[in-house]
Amino acid sequence: MSDALKVVVIGAGIVGAFAAWELVQSGHDVIVLDVDQPGGKQAASYGNGAWIMESSLLPVSVPGLWRQVPGYLMDPLGPFAIRRSHLFALTPWLTRFLLAGSSVGKVERTASFRHALTHGALQRYRSVAKANGLVSLLKHDGHLFLYSDREAFEADGLAWRLRRHYGIEWRELEDEALRAFEPGLGAHHRFGVYVRAGANLTDPGAFVTGLVEGAVRQGAVLQRARATGFRLEGNRLRAVKTESGEICSNRAVLTAGIDARDLTMQCGDRVPLETERGYHVVVPEAAGGPRHPIMLMDGKMVFTRTRAGLRVAGQVELAGREAAPDWRRADILVKHLQRAFPEFSRQFEEGVVDRWMGHRPSTPDGIPCIGPSRLSPDVIYGFGHGHSGITMAPATGRLIADLCGGRHSLIDSKPYWAERFR
């Protein structure tokens, strides 16, 4: 390994937290830079579905999706909604997005790159959680995917064919067998697929906080400030600029999620990064309800038991960064839960304790940006993980540490470089 470097990690979400941990373990001097508290409600890492999902291989864009765009424009409360006021600004990103999933071959290629980042995620979580006293935040109860019937499952055949190709195993459950597995389930969902390898965090925000604190115990420094740019001499990084002054450094790691977009432009890259706005509600714990983490395939949402209660999270809204939340979308999540578990839901009709909206940083091709910037090899990107930040964070953090230290990595970083958008 090369001599120890001074590395500034910009952004303390789940990806930044893993990057900081791996960099400290590699012997580097690390400063974690974020304007807010790691794990706070402002970040996508706080409010996601909390799933560690190694089976998350498909991008959102798949063949035939373009036919549904008019419907997305007409239905502002559907599982994939586009605000008309944002359509003009969104058009370049949306065009790339639809083209990226326009053929099975393109989706298969994307799945191979996603698999490289999702494979082994649970094993790495167990190791890091043990090292940082966070084991209580990790649960391994599998994932249950619910369909209305077998026909709906078979229509989703591309996803399951690719999962089988990459070694994902599952158990199919239908009618009586499904209700024995999930006794409180309503009549609408008659077919399920149970993936035993699935896991989840019971408090994603607390895990981020704990992992950053673990990096600090190992020698990292947490600094509250907003990064505003970089000072380069030629193509070498000399300092990270902040609102409070410069931080001298040899490397900068940009893991700032949706906030990375403006900083990449200073590095010569115009990365098409869009916010896929997601919502969640948390309802108090009560008798009955889901026994397992569940994904409703028709509603595009997940149910996950957390320390705060049952979290219902998901769906996609494309409306830009500044638009106000549409809290009707949170109400839709509750309605789907009420239909899926009618007896359970009667206990909390007035008891929703939390509503949240956050910004998933998403590239149009469903592949994150990991690798050097155009102007300097010393500025390393690590953002754009979309719906899979929790799952891809361990591999991304390891890859970032390898790139910073000039070490050989088990993952080829080239497919993730931002240059693919030039």
DSSP string, 266-333: HTT-----EEEEEEEEEE---SSS-SS-EEETTTTEEEEEETTEEEEEEEEEE--SSSPP-THHHHHH
Task: For residue 173, tell me if it sits in a domain.
Answer: no
Strand order in the sheet with 369-372: 221-224, 29-34, 6-10, 251-254, 379-383, 369-372
User: Considering the entire predicted model, what is its pTM?
Assistant: 0.96
Task: For residue 167, tell me if it sits in a domain.
Answer: no
Q: pLDDT tens-digit profile of 245-283?
A: 999 999 999 999 999 999 999 999 999 999 999 999 998
pLDDT over threshold 60, residue 201: yes
Q: pLDDT tens-digit profile of 127-158?
A: 999 999 999 999 999 999 999 999 999 999 99
Output the pLDDT for position 349. Answer: 62
Confidence class of residue 79 from pLDDT cuts 50, 70 and 90? confident
Task: For residue 310, tell me if it sits in a domain.
Answer: no
Task: For residue 393, tell me if it sits in a domain.
Answer: yes
User: What is the spatial distance between Cα 282 and Cα 207, in angstroms, rounded to a whole number?
Assistant: 18
Output the pLDDT for position 76. Answer: 80
Task: For residue 177, tell me if it sits in a domain.
Answer: no
Helix (H, G, I), strand (E, B) or coil at 152: helix
Confidence class of residue 284 from pLDDT cuts 50, 70 and 90? confident
Choice among 94-98, 103-107, 212-216, 287-291 with the minimum mean pLDDT:
287-291
Output the pLDDT for position 350. Answer: 61
Task: For residue 416, tell me if it sits in a domain.
Answer: yes
Check the CA dihedral 386-389-393-395 and report its sign.
Answer: negative
Residues with Cβ within 8 Å of 81's Cβ and at least 6 positions away in sequence, in order, are: 72, 75, 315, 316, 317, 318, 319, 329
- Residue showing tokens 């006021």: 85
Output the pLDDT for position 1. Answer: 41
pLDDT over threshold 80, residue 86: yes
User: What is the spatial distance between Cα 47 and Cα 308, in angstroms, rounded to a whole number?
Assistant: 12
Confidence class of residue 286 from pLDDT cuts 50, 70 and 90? low
Amino acid identity for residue 108 in this structure: E
Contact 418, 290 (CB under 8 A): no
Which has the closest alpha carbon to 315: 226, 387, 241? 387
Q: pLDDT tens-digit profile of 373-409?
A: 999 999 999 999 999 999 999 999 999 999 999 999 9
Share of the chain above pLDDT 90, in %: 88
Task: For residue 24, tell me if it sits in a domain.
Answer: yes
As a whole number, mean pLDDT of residues 206-223 equals: 98
Task: For residue 138, tell me if it sits in a domain.
Answer: no
User: What is the spatial distance between Cα 117 and Cα 367, in angstroms, rounded to a whole number?
Assistant: 10
Q: pLDDT tens-digit profile of 33-65?
A: 999 999 999 999 999 999 999 999 999 999 998
Domains contained in the chain, number: 1
Write out the residue range of the structural domain in which residue 409 sits. 1-63+103-131+199-273+364-422
The CATH number of the domain holding residue 18 is: 3.50.50.60
As a whole number, mean pLDDT of residues 68-97 equals: 89
Contact 69, 82 (CB under 8 A): yes
Token pair, residue 420, equals 């693919």
Residues with Cβ within 8 Å of 325's Cβ and at least 6 positions away in sequence, in order, are: 277, 279, 357
What mean pLDDT is reported for the chain?
94
